[in-house]
Chains A and B, each alone.
Chain A
Amino acid sequence: MNRSADPAKNVETRVYAAPEVIPPGERRRHPRYLLTRPVITIPVLADGSPDEERVGEGYTIDVSVGGMSLRIDQSEPPRLSTLVVGVESESSQYHFSTVRMRNVIESSEGKRIGVEFVEPERCVFRAEQLQPWFDARTFSLAPPANEEALTRWCGLGVTRPVVTDYVQVCSACRALPTFRHGCRKCGSARLGNIQLIHHFACAYVGFVEKFEQHGDLMCPKCRAKHLVVGADFEYLAGPYHCLDCNWRDSTPEHIAQCLRCGMRCPASQLSEQQLIGYHVHRLDPLVLIDSVR
């Protein structure tokens, strides 16, 4: 059987020209397990959106690691080769997987459709397609690429929108910023810090330089020598001071600068953007098989 590079072209071949006897090479090599569960099939259009008019219902016949056999209550089998199949779990929750139709077998009990699970990179609900993505042109986080199609999948109950994250973005242009410690007043990152020494015994607090005497530390107040850090004294960080505007503060501010428009402001003044992704209950064949065993 020739496989075309374009899956859309294979649709006609596979759906309507399925051989009555499947060559051994085409059969599933993995052990099959009989399983009867309610199932829905949703054809996938070329743009990744669902074909809502051809949603089929039925039940599974068997399942293996590589694929499934389904019986669909539909007079005409789906035309498209790629389907999203939802199998109802024991908890009445549908779990979905992208499958490729392999054959359609007519029997006295009806149409039996053989499908195989597609490779992860061909899956309709790839993780990267469900999540917002970084747009390097605008330095911002964009919604999932095929959001319109995902919305339609939501309408069928296959996916649902979820808040995946909250990120701080520029309040002017919604682009992502960079962060640094800086001056609360002017935003400069050029900060200085003075170190102090607190001598425990006499409670004196002064600049480190005042304690330094010929390579040793001596308290300028009580003249105690050979001071040991931790036991006799501790270092204290004095307030930060800005080398640009001379502002003094106990802690530097988190300053943000927008990557796109360059606006600089305290991080607390940024806007918060809600990131919406999509969630789908994925079908795991091993779990299905495990439930049969």
Chain B
Amino acid sequence: MFTDWIHWCSSIRSDELLWALTPLLLLDAPRYVLGSLVMWACDFVSDIWRLLTGATDARPHEYCPSVCVVLAGLNEADTIASTLGSVWGSYPRMEIVVVDDGSTDGMADVATEFALTHANVLVIRKPRRGGKSSALNAALPFTQAEVIVCVDTDSHLGPGAIWEIVQPMADPAVGAVSGTVIARNPFLKLITWLQAFEYLRSIFVGRMFAHRLDILAIVSGAFGAFRRDALQRVQGWDVGPGEDGDLVLRLRKAGYTIALAPYAQCLTNLPVSWKRLFFQRRRWEWATITFNCRKHVDLANPFAPHFRWSNLAMLVDSWLFSVVLLYAFWGYLGYLIWHSHEDLGKLLFLNYLAYAGIEIVNLLVVLYYSLDRRRDLCIGLVAPLMPFYYLFLKAAQVWAITEEILTRRSFRDNFVPEHVRAVTWHW
């Protein structure tokens, strides 16, 4: 059977091969593989040159602004103490504000216990749930720190993460810095293993590439830093879901640039069931339509104040790869199934191998930049299964985008409490 497939591969013409690999060549290869490879090649040459000249890349942490770490959460009594433990004492000029968004499990009590024995920890209790945006905004009146760092209450900061994430802020043009989110529980289940590799590929390396092109459009809600002046200028977070991406677009609109601190790492717990993963990704994808295609479409207007080509490129990147080519991918798949022929299995296998090959290349790039190569190599062992995982994600993506385009589904989601979403603007 494999011999048949080899014969089939050797017998097809180059134009047929291009047609067979259309989704790969259109969607994934240029966005993830070529970009990563070019970035790696540049860095490799640069590193070799540095090696030959004896120059060092190690930059000391010289910039030390005052920092306020905001931990906003709901019903995270089990994890808040551990998160506080990982944050407290990791940076000299730091205060911590914990915002309890109406928890019923005693989260604020746990945080208060911590505050009693640790200096510069303030706990704010909201009597009822108002959504993550308002919880984050509630911390702002109580801090005068220059940099606001947001950390999810179920996450754990890596060593020196705060130091790393504030360094790009030395540039006054930078309004926000994205940290890197990696898996805290990668080997718990197959689903977390797959996500862990995806995070390495798309958050760790993928954002490096986006940052170099100045089209970084997201600062993870799990770990990100914001200049306080910039936050005050845009008046904090708007109602979610997708409030982190929305804030970044508003900062870009206000003229700030978005930086990346790839080695400021935050370990977060990943969803452990396919259903929860589906709901999480659906929420993420809604934001593509709500913010990139509706609310902030004026970023593409060349006559708008603060217009930047990078903002236009960022939106085009989002429209093209998250919407147009996504539909093209499913259209192609539908076309193949509709015009099913005897070589369909061979064609799909060819695509699978090509996608798996891409993942191997991605793994190599990840390992080049990795801080913990052994762990990342173990995570990368799941690469042959990634094509199936991405198929699932693409299904979730197309579902979410379609329902958001047609029904504005995001404004009926429980991520935002009903009394808030009833009065907010439905973009």
Contacts and interface: CB of A to CB of B under 8 A. Distances in A.
Interface stretch (B116-124, B197-205, B297-305): B116-124
Contacts, number: 83
> Which of A198, A249, A250 has the largest count of B CB atoms less than 10 A from its CB?
A250
A203 B134 contact: yes
Contacts of A238: 124, 141-142
B38 to A, nearest CB: 39
A234 interface: yes
Nearest to B132: A203
B126 interface: yes
A28 interface: no
B364 interface: no
Given A231-B423, A238-B142, A250-B112, A201 B239 contact: yes
Given A234-B130, A250-B108, A250-B122, A203 B236 contact: yes
Interface in B225-266: 235-239, 243
User: What is the size category of the interface that chain A forms with chain B?
Assistant: 20 to 34
B138 A249 contact: no
Contact of B137 (A203, A231, A251): A203
B184 interface: no
A246 to B, nearest CB: 12
Contacts of A232: 423
B141 A198 contact: no
Interface residues of B, number: 33
A184 interface: yes
Interface string A186-207: 0000000010101011111111
A236 B141 CA distance: 12
Interface string B296-321: 00000000000000000000000000
Given A203-B130, A205-B137, A250-B125, 6 more contacts: A201-B420, A231-B423, A237-B127, A239-B122, A239-B142, A249-B122
Interface of A: 184, 194, 196, 198, 200-207, 220-221, 231-232, 234, 236-239, 248-251
20 contacts: A196-B141, A198-B137, A200-B239, A200-B420, A201-B420, A202-B239, A203-B134, A204-B137, A205-B134, A221-B236, A231-B423, A238-B124, A238-B141, A239-B123, A248-B122, A248-B142, A249-B122, A249-B123, A250-B125, A251-B125
